[in-house]
Amino acid sequence: MKTAKDPRHLKRIKTVKALFAESFAPQDNLPELAQKVLSKKNKTDKKIQEAAPVWPVDKLNKIDLAMLRLAIFELENTKTPPKVIIDEAVEIAKQFGSESSPSFINGVLGTIYKDRVDVVVSKKKKAKK
């Protein structure tokens, strides 16, 4: 069971804060995870734009953008179960985002996850033919 003192939860919060600060000005001594997330920023932002075409990335709430970047990075680069990543992002959104942040984060990540699952299923069907 996740708690406020869970080291993974605290690491995610620290990373989101660093990504948020970086969106305003370059930061010294970024945590390693934040550096990794930023190294994939262009690819991640493209996925966000595809999942939420009505919301241009440069117009998104900066804290929401930081949470989305971290969660998408984790979805694509870790073995953490997707539902855990999405739940954790929604919980952080409740803590740091606006009133609409949790549902927005959940919707964008749900769309990205669904698209990813659809691609995997499609590849498996083609492999069987």
DSSP 47-112: HHHHH-TTS-GGGS-HHHHHHHHHHHHHHHH--S-HHHHHHHHHHHHHHHS-TTHHHHHHHHHHHH
| Domain annotation covers residue 14 | yes
| Domain annotation covers residue 1 | no
| Domain annotation covers residue 73 | yes
| Domain annotation covers residue 76 | yes
101 and 62 Cβ atoms separated by less than 8 Å: no
The answer to whether the predicted template modeling score (pTM) of the entire model surpasses 0.85 is yes
Give percent of the chain above pLDDT 90.
Answer: 83
Mean of the per-residue pLDDT values of the chain: 91
Angle between helices 101-128 and 41-51 (to 10 degrees): 100
In angstroms, how far is CA 65 from the centroid of its own chain? 8
pLDDT 10s digits, 47-94: 999 999 999 999 999 999 999 999 999 999 999 999 999 999 999 999
| Domain annotation covers residue 15 | yes
Residue 26: which CATH number? 1.10.940.10
| Domain annotation covers residue 104 | yes
Number of structural domains in the chain: 1
